[in-house]
Amino acid sequence: MFPGPCVRMSGPLGISLDRDGALLRLVLNRPRANIVDAEMIAALDEAFGDHAANKDLTAVLLEAEGPHFSFGASVEEHLPDSCAEMLAALHALVKTMLKYPLPVLVAINGQCLGGGLEVAMAGHCLFAAPTANLGQPEMMLGVFAPAASCLLPERVGQARAEDLLYSGRSVSGTQALAMGLVDTLADDPTAAALAYFDKHLGRKSAGSLRFAVRAARMGFTERMVAKLQAVEDLYLNELMSTHDAVEGLEAFLAKRKAKWENT
């Protein structure tokens, strides 16, 4: 039996070391929505950075307090005055996770949408409940999902990624497993992730595992970082200069139907 973790739950993120210090547990701590806003992004990026050099660490488990992993990024922060800063911060976090020297396990319950799913996909192994709901609904608001445009095709293939990105529809955990979006299905994703850690990672050399992660992600990380920058430029320099992108966001916040001009 492992002793229970000592959890620090101040602010938007719970942080603890579990499994005798070999597992870093990060808990999104703003139920019920767990919005990935500027404060949450900063807390996550700081936590990953603070522990990256811990030689005794073997893996990270990213999970969430409450019934939902995340409803997504802050829509208010997507508006023209703040979207450049928001996207830069979110994409910096995604890059941090893509480059992380150890496996990042992600446990998903309930809603996992938009920026929340983008953060989850930056991890290595995704565990989801059958009843989870995963999707990129950005097109419903007249915008596209930059990080997901890079990460989804790698996980589910080009055709399935385009379906989800264009339609904005969501899929269940069961459907997500069938298409390769998640790796493991379990009624209790956190327990499944912990069991995976105990069986497959906990007894490994933390030092050797770092080399294995570098080797497995060699080329992939560089490709994703380059594409992410290009997609971010497209979003900020072209999409956000259109009427419909701003209209869709403002209509969502005003709880009214968007009036598209197709420009």
Let me know if residue 240 belongs to a domain: no
Let me know if residue 253 belongs to a domain: no
Q: How many domains does the chain have?
A: 1
Let me know if residue 202 belongs to a domain: yes
For the stretch 79-99, pLDDT in tens is: 999 999 999 999 999 999 999
Query: What local confidence, expressed as pLDDT, does residue 3 receive?
Result: 40
| Residues 167/139, Cβ–Cβ less than 8 Å | yes
Q: Is cis: bond before 19, omega within 30 of 0?
A: no
Let me know if residue 218 belongs to a domain: no
Let me know if residue 249 belongs to a domain: no
- 99: domain CATH number is 3.90.226.10
Beta bridge partners of 28: 13, 64
Could you list the residue range(s) of the whole structural domain that residue 19 is in?
A: 13-206
Let me know if residue 216 belongs to a domain: no
For the stretch 19-67, pLDDT in tens is: 999 999 999 999 999 999 999 999 999 999 999 999 999 999 999 999 9
Let me know if residue 155 belongs to a domain: yes
Measured over the CA atoms of residue 141, residue 154, residue 130 and residue 26, the dihedral's sign is: negative
Paired sense of beta strands 59-64 and 23-28, if any: parallel
Q: How much is the mean pLDDT over the chain?
A: 96
Let me know if residue 236 belongs to a domain: no
